[in-house]
Structure 1
Amino acid sequence: MFNKVKKLILAFIILIIFYVSIAMEHHQMKQITSEIMINDPWIRLAPTNASVLGLFMQINNNTNHDIKLLYVNAGDYKRIELHRTVAQNDMMKMVKQEFMIIPAKGKLYLKPGSWHIMLISPTLVLHKGDIVMIELIFDNGLTKIVYAEVRTGKKTIDNHHSIMHE
């Protein structure tokens, strides 16, 4: 009978260790995924023959250090680039960026006429309401999957022809 009690106590201890490890893993996963929060990812609807689409969102950094967005993956585009629109000689110019910094405890707004992601040479025609899976890769090793809705967007730059790409 004493052996049965020892086995029961041992089984109970193993069960407690198992539940504690699951709880700790869940807590760590929650902390990791909440370091970076993505809000309102969307792709601007473009004509069917458009060779470039804009991807926009808000990225929140909940950590105490700056984090860089390094890469973006989406399967249906030949190339994806990080861009920023800047004023230069009374013209708006889109300049390719190596990365985007999300400041510690801050936000980065990707929006038309500012920071944005260029989806270049789509292999599919997108329609309003379509959902596109996007993978964001950060310098801290974190990867986020977001689902961007295709929708119409208000033009923020009056003369699109005055925007140049670099």
Structure 2
Amino acid sequence: MKKLVLAFTILGATTASLYSTLALADHQGGSHGGAHGNHAMHASSERAPSTVKGSDHLRVQDCWIRLLPKVAPSGGFFVLHNEDKSEPVVLKGIQTDAFGMSMLHETTEKNGMSAMAMVPDVTIEPGQSLSFKPGSYHAMLEKPKADLKAGQQITVNFELGTGKKIPVQCTLKSPSARSFSDQ
């Protein structure tokens, strides 16, 4: 019986380590093609910030954060719904007291290579929705300020081009999570 418990303990630790390594690789370039550990290494978008203020009619759904070890940035994912039928909504960024830094990113593919770059903002066209998901638009959160744990909820403020901040409850998920419904 002791050998069986030891085997499960080792297997569990190995599995947890594997999930952490895979999630870290996913954020450090495993599927993005770029380094992520240092703010200076983030590529910047060539696109200038939007001068459009846009609408305040944003609804945020399914907000979650893939919580990684402190040495790696955590990823923020959500669905943005522009409920205004005539004006775009411009997301300038997100902010939370749980992390010291946050940035908007976009993953793109060119000539078979995947690349990630910071973007100054994101526009959601009138009446449209936009998903922030792994391999696409996403937020990066660095410098966690507390001992955060999977399962916790934190408040994230979505900052719009109008200056309005929309507070949203986001769930912290394990490094192995790949969608809102995952643990």
TM range (shorter): 0.5 to 0.7
Q: What is the CA-CA distance between 1:88 and the residue it aligns to?
A: 3.0
- Deviation string for 1:25-47 (max 9, x for gaps)? xxxxxxx97x211101000132x
Structure 2 residue identity aligned to 1:56? F
Please say if residues 45 and 150 of structure 1, whose CA atoms lie closer than 8 Å, have aligned partners that are also in contact: yes
Residue 70 (str. 1) matches residue 84 (str. 2): no
Structure number having the greater helix percentage: 1
Residue 43 (str. 1) matches residue 56 (str. 2): no
Q: What is the CA-CA distance between 1:135 and the residue it aligns to?
A: 0.5
- Deviation string for 1:61-107 (max 9, x for gaps)? 01111111012111132211000001134222111000011111001
TM-score (norm 2): 0.61
Structure 2 counterparts to residues 122-133 of structure 1, below 5 A: 122-133=144-155
CA–CA distance in 2 between the matches of 1:49 and 1:140? 33
Please say if residues 106 and 116 of structure 2, whose CA atoms lie closer than 8 Å, have aligned partners that are also in contact: yes
Report what 1:154 is aligned to. Answer: 178
CA–CA distance in 1 between the matches of 2:110 and 2:145? 32
Q: Give the one of 61, 69, 73 matched to 1:52.
A: 73
CA–CA distance in 1 between the matches of 2:116 and 2:143? 17
Structure number having the greater strand percentage: 1
CA–CA distance in 2 between the matches of 1:126 and 1:38? 22
Q: Give the one of 78, 101, 105 matched to 1:79.
A: 101
Q: What is the number of equivalent residue pairs in this alignment?
A: 122
Return 5+ residue gaps in structure 1 as ranges: 1-31, 156-166
Report what 2:110 is aligned to. Answer: 88
| Structure whose CA Rg is larger | 1
TM-score (norm 1): 0.67
Please say if residues 99 and 144 of structure 2, whose CA atoms lie closer than 8 Å, have aligned partners that are also in contact: yes
CA–CA distance in 2 between the matches of 1:83 and 1:72? 11
Corresponding residue SS for 1:133: strand
CA–CA distance in 2 between the matches of 1:139 and 1:146? 17
Q: What is the CA-CA distance between 1:121 and the residue it aligns to?
A: 1.9
CA distance change for structure 1 residues 124 and 90 in 2, over 3 Å: closer, same or farther? farther
Q: What is the CA-CA distance between 1:124 and the residue it aligns to?
A: 2.5
Please say if residues 51 and 122 of structure 1, whose CA atoms lie closer than 8 Å, have aligned partners that are also in contact: no
Name the % identity: 24
Please say if residues 85 and 92 of structure 1, whose CA atoms lie closer than 8 Å, have aligned partners that are also in contact: yes
